[in-house]
């Protein structure tokens, strides 16, 4: 079972996020880890512990990572944290690149980010006026100490700074690259200045943009690494950090957040093991255009008479050539070979003395017209099952939430046993969720198996799918329907206690059997020559 960590609010991450060539690291002695939290059973769940490939971080843990990297750069370069943060964002949070560029030409780096030139002292993120001064925006005179600058020579009053920062924050993440209000001044407006000049709401929004920058621009692992991402689950504020081991394998890229939302690290779509990202994209594109699909397929697609590859007619000529390796040339209208076709010579009416006349051509046209209809029937068949498993998966998550929030406690109270003794129900539901997800995407894949060209492979696919589905339905019925019947509100506690061991053994047995059949289905995708969608393009 793959697992993820959920970190405590006040702990810093144990990984500094720097590259192998960096010569400084974080001190992690003070970091405290929560226990490993099981987030979801995934397609690799075979009852054995799998290699840990990712961890789940809450916002406080992400912020601790961000602050730790910022503090380290500030210490190494002897600059304020605000400038260190600007540097890290400029170099996409690659501390190694900062070190290389800074010690190579720090003047160029200072100019690029709006840091004051080195005059032998520590750069100042904000300065307060020491004498009476006029605000450079509203031109009102203020006594000493009531105007401030971004460490440059341009001073503004508090109200003008608040309005300036508010307008920048309203503009979105670009506020992180804010400069002095004077158009000719490149001085950077950094965190320390925002903290003393902006309203509380604007400070919080600025900090939020800065936190998102850490995950979205650098991922805690340097430019282009993309090692950390926000969970795309609805309402979830956690991030997932990928530790490695499978990024190049489309079948091993599913990760699961503590909120139970799973997504593919490779393509960002919902977790879809065991099918490839190409298949998922093709299927979702088809679903998006479903209202137009039927008429379009009838008018624009036919199967190659030789290899049965679906062909789209996107030009006016009737001379069709199937893509390599087939290369068959045929007539779009009558499907005869192009170098010897007679099907377009006239309407195939039987003639005297001609036996069946041109019955063969008439049959060929009828087959062509029915092929698109059969393709649509096949699509509808798989789509209905894809959608049904999707809906069932949503209900499974609702049942799991209800179980964990109150139902298990209620059941435990009825039979007088600790809630921990009902962990078998949670495991069953986790297996059901995994099964619904696998079957859902297996049906998306099944659509692209041609009934004729891929007959043997489709037979294997459907056999394994039927076995897995029957086991899953049996487990789902036991975990949901039989549970509700056994532990109903008016059930006699003595009767429930007598039946509990039998019910537990039954659910555990069904869970193990379902896991085995689902593993067989997944293995067929990943270790046999079942074709991927890319081979059908």
CA-to-CA dists, residue 74 to 17, 63, 69, 83, 111, angstroms: 16, 16, 9, 8, 17
Distance CA(210)–CA(218), nearest Å, equals 11
Does the predicted TM-score (pTM) go above 0.85? no
CATH code, residues 290-345+371-526: 1.20.120.1750
Residue 536: per-residue pLDDT? 39
- Fold for the domain defined by 54-219: Herpes Virus-1 (3.30.40)
Residue-wise pLDDT tens digits, 346-392: 444 444 445 455 556 556 556 665 666 777 778 878 888 888 888 88
Share of the chain above pLDDT 70, in %: 76
Write out the two tokens for 313.
């007619």
Share of the chain above pLDDT 90, in %: 35
Instruction: Return the domain boundaries, the chain.
Output: 54-219, 290-345+371-526
Distance CA(416)–CA(1), nearest Å, equals 30
Low-confidence ranges of the chain (pLDDT < 50): 1-50, 220-224, 246-251, 345-353, 355, 531-537
Residue-wise pLDDT tens digits, 73-94: 999 999 999 999 999 999 989 8
- Is residue 195 within a helix (H) or strand (E), and if so which, with residue range? helix 191-197
Question: Which residues 6+ apart lie within 8 Å of 151 measured at CB?
Answer: 116, 123, 124, 125, 126, 127, 187
**CA 375 remoteness from chain centre:** 30
Which positions are annotated as active-site residues? Answer: 317
Write out the two tokens for 75.
């210490």
């Amino acid at each position: 079972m793959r697992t993820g960590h959920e970190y405590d609010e006040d702990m810093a991450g144990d990984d500094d996020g720097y590259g192998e060539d960096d010569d400084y690291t974080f001190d992690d002695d003070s970091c405290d880890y929560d226990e490993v939290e099981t987030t979801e059973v995934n397609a690799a769940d075979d009852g054995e512990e799998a290699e840990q490939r990712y961890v789940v971080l809450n916002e406080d843990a992400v912020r601790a990572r961000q602050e730790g990297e910022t503090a380290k750069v500030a210490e190494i370069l002897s600059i304020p944290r605000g400038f260190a943060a600007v540097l890290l964002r400029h170099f996409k949070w690659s501390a190694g690149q900062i070190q290389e560029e800074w010690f190579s030409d720090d003047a160029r780096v200072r100019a690029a980010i709006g840091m004051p030139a080195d005059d032998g002292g520590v750069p100042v993120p904000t300065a307060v006026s020491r004498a009476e001064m006029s605000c450079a925006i509203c031109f009102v005179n203020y006594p000493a100490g009531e105007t401030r600058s971004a460490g440059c020579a341009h001073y503004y009053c508090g109200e003008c700074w608040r309005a300036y920062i508010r307008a920048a924050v309203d503009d979105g993440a670009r506020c992180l690259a804010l400069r002095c209000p004077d158009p000719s001044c490149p001085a950077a407006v950094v965190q320390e200045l925002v903290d003393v000049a902006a309203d509380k709401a604007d400070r919080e929004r600025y900090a939020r943009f800065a936190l998102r920058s850490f995950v979205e621009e650098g991922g805690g692992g340097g430019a282009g690494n993309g090692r950390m991402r926000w969970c795309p689950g609805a309402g979830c504020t956690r991030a997932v950090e990928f530790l490695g081991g499978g990024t190049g394998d489309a079948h091993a890229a599913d990760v699961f957040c503590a909120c139970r939302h799973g997504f593919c690290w490779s393509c960002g779509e919902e977790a879809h093991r065991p099918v490839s990202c190409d298949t998922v994209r093709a299927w979702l594109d088809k679903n998006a255009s479903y209202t137009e699909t039927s008429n379009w397929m009838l008018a624009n697609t036919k199967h190659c008479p030789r290899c049965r590859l679906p062909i789209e007619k996107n030009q006016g000529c009737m001379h069709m050539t199937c893509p390599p390796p087939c290369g068959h040339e045929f007539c779009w209208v009558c499907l005869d070979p192009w170098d010897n076709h007679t099907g377009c010579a006239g309407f195939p009416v039987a003639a005297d003395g001609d036996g069946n006349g041109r019955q063969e051509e008439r049959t060929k046209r009828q087959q062509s017209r029915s092929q698109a209809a059969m393709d649509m029937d096949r699509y509808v068949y798989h789509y209905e099952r894809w959608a049904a498993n999707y809906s069932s998966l949503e209900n499974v998550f609702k049942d799991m939430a209800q179980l964990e929030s109150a139902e298990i406690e209620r059941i435990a109270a009825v039979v007088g046993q600790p809630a921990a003794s009902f962990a078998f129900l949670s495991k069953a539901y986790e297996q059901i969720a995994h099964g619904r997800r696998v079957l859902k995407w297996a049906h998306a894949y099944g659509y692209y198996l041609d009934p004729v060209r891929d007959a043997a492979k489709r037979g294997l696919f459907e056999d394994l799918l039927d076995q897995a589905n029957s086991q899953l339905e049996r487990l789902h019925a036991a975990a949901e329907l039989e549970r509700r019947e056994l532990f109903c509100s008016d059930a006699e506690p003595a009767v429930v206690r007598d039946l509990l061991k039998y019910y537990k053994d039954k659910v555990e047995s069904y869970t193990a059997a379902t896991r085995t059949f689902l593993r067989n289905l997944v293995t067929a995708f990943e270790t046999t020559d079942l074709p991927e969608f890319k081979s059908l393009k």
